[in-house]
């Protein structure tokens, strides 16, 4: 019997994975998904200001996408990012901020 090669993470279909998932338990809430994983990486790099800037921006991005029902990895496309950028410009933010 031949040994099976495991499927590599990058070869799996992640389109249905939630960008930011809140797992609520008794007295504690855990987060999982690409956004909290990225934020945890930035926090571990021990640059508090950078982490807070990413956290603020990604929280705004996720809220924007969530309002439009675009909460999965597959929904996170160039189009969705362009919609968010337009939204920020419409709010009057400078081009440097956007």
pLDDT of 38-95, one tens digit each?
A: 999 999 998 889 999 999 999 999 999 999 999 999 999 999 999 999 999 999 988 8
42 lies in some domain: yes
11 lies in some domain: no
24 lies in some domain: no
pLDDT value at residue 86: 95
Place of tokens 């040994």: 3
Is the model's pLDDT at 1 over the cut of 60?
no
pLDDT value at residue 14: 85
pLDDT value at residue 3: 66
How many domains does the structure of the chain reveal?
1
Domain range for residue 90? 34-98
Is the model's pLDDT at 2 over the cut of 70?
no
Whole-Å CA distances, 15 to 12, 27, 47, 61, 81: 9, 30, 31, 18, 16
């Amino acid at each position: 019997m031949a040994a099976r090669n495991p499927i590599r993470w990058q070869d799996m279909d992640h389109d249905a994975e939630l960008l930011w998932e809140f797992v609520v338990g008794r007295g504690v809430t855990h987060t999982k998904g690409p956004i909290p994983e990225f934020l945890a990486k930035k926090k571990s790099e021990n640059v508090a200001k950078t982490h807070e800037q990413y956290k603020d921006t990604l929280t705004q991005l996720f809220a924007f996408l969530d309002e439009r029902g675009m909460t999965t990895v597959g929904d996170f496309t160039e189009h969705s990012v362009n919609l968010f950028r337009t939204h920020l410009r419409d709010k009057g933010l400078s081009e440097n901020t956007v």
